[in-house]
Amino acid sequence: MAEKVVLKIKKKEIELPVITGSEKEKGIDISKLRASTGGYTTYDVGYKNTGATTSAITFLDGEKGILRYRGYPIEQLAEKSSFLEVAYLLIYGELPTKTQFTDFTGSISKHTLVHEDIRKFLDNYPERTHPMGQLSAMICSLAAFYPDSLDVNRGEEEVNDTVIRLLAKLPTLVSWIYKRSQGHPVIYPDNSLGYVENFLKMFFGYPTEEYKVDPIIAKAMQKLLILHADHEQNCSTSTVRIVGSSHAPLYAAISAGISALWGPRHGGANQSVIEMLQNIQSDGGDYKKWIEKAKDKKDPFRLMGFGHRVYKNFDPRAKIIKKASDDVLKKLGINDPLLDIAKNLERITLKDDYFVSRKLYPNVDFYSGIIYKAIGFPTEMFTVLFALGRLPGWIAQWKEMMTEKQPIGRPRQIYTGQTERKYAPISKRKK
């Protein structure tokens, strides 16, 4: 018999169906709650207990530290796959055949160029503009260059053109934003290179000299992008879904996702980690003092990059990145006092009962910040790199929402303001 939950409101009992996922996760289906209770709604600020959708893309078990894309463990994908293969898997649901993969990578290569007028927009930003703001604006602006993307009834092939354009142009835009922030000329895409190699060349290369891609860095980048590619209904992904649910163009939904990712409580945390380490360093580098500050309830200081909203034991991505960051630092022979502080914070917090009992272990943002720094990316670009990795996940989640013809996202509220009162003209109000 199908499982049901009984809800008793005053003397009335209402049966609510239970929905079970493929990994046996259970949810109480409250879609008929208001109708069957005469207007009761649920209350769950921050959606900690709310399933906003069913989804067949990413499975995450925060208690056991499991993360799978379309059923494939993140450990296997990070070790054996490539970012574009993972992007294909997330967006189309299966790993590609050889022909499908050749077609997919081929069409991405064809679309790497970005309209020259976009480059001109970049020329006019103030020098210290945060790159996330520019990226969000540029992605939204792409809708102006591809107006057919506004047609919500266009065919599957046309939708796919937008998907390919987004994947192809994001690395170019990210690198161009960086180049313009430095006052350097942009580097145009080199379609003879792979996705990651081309990105590294556009980002770190100069028109004045040959750029040789370091395979250690390229491999680490592949891993980082794979690990960030999707994370089910997080803040930015939920934003992409909700903006997309109004049938705004995909470019606008992705641009909104980038804006949501920007904040230090989400993707911006990787930048905050390095800024915290810099503060500790400029204060003399006494990391023990800062650990004590973090433990002191009266002190507002909090360690950035520790703990996670849904992982209660460990973040499986952090485990993989920790190893990758150790490898990269070793192979590149990097010696950076900031990274020494990070290593010391990590060493102590993993053993200290205060952090262990509160499950405040270093998370994905802690290690990704370290590895990006070691590779040579400037701190303000870290969150942009997260966006580059998260793009396929956002697209996949948007596509799923559209294919299922989900209704517009429209949460309810419990109103706590004034009840009805009479308007008084200003002359009749207190002085």
List residues near ligand MLT by CB under 6 A.
Answer: 231, 234, 266, 309-310, 364
* Closest alpha carbon to 199 in 22, 377, 421: 377
Number of H helices, E strands in the chain: 18, 6
Nearer to ligand MLT, 198 or 368 (CB): 368
Residue appearing with tokens 């990758």? 324
Nearer to ligand MLT, 287 or 372 (CB): 372
* Closest alpha carbon to 69 in 95, 51, 106: 95
Nearer to ligand MLT, 205 or 316 (CB): 316
| Minimum separation from the CB atom of position 225 to ligand MLT (A) | 12
- CA-based torsion, 104, 105, 111, 114: positive or negative: positive
How far apart (Å, rounded) are the C-alpha atoms in residues 359 and 355?
6
The H or E element containing residue 67 is strand 66-69
Residue 132: how many other CB atoms lie within 10 Å: 24
| Minimum separation from the CB atom of position 357 to ligand MLT (A) | 22
Which residues lie closer than 8 Å to 54 by C-beta, 6 or more apart?
19, 21
Is residue 119 classed as helix, strand or coil in its secondary structure?
helix
| Minimum separation from the CB atom of position 311 to ligand MLT (A) | 8
Nearer to ligand MLT, 165 or 241 (CB): 241
| Minimum separation from the CB atom of position 233 to ligand MLT (A) | 8
How far apart (Å, rounded) are the C-alpha atoms in residues 243 and 249?
9
| Minimum separation from the CB atom of position 234 to ligand MLT (A) | 3
Nearer to ligand MLT, 224 or 381 (CB): 224
Which positions are catalytic? 308, 365
DSSP-assigned letter for residue 14:
E
| Minimum separation from the CB atom of position 334 to ligand MLT (A) | 25
How far apart (Å, rounded) are the C-alpha atoms in residues 318 and 323?
9
Residue 378: how many other CB atoms lie within 10 Å: 15
Nearer to ligand MLT, 309 or 358 (CB): 309
Nearer to ligand MLT, 266 or 312 (CB): 266
How far apart (Å, rounded) are the C-alpha atoms in residues 178 and 380?
9
Q: For residue 58, give both structure tokens.
A: 């990413």
Which residues lie closer than 8 Å to 314 by C-beta, 6 or more apart?
65, 361
Which residues lie closer than 8 Å to 263 by C-beta, 6 or more apart?
235
| Minimum separation from the CB atom of position 266 to ligand MLT (A) | 6
In contact, 339 and 329? CB cutoff 8 Å: yes
Residue 103: how many other CB atoms lie within 10 Å: 12
How far apart (Å, rounded) are the C-alpha atoms in residues 130 and 379?
11
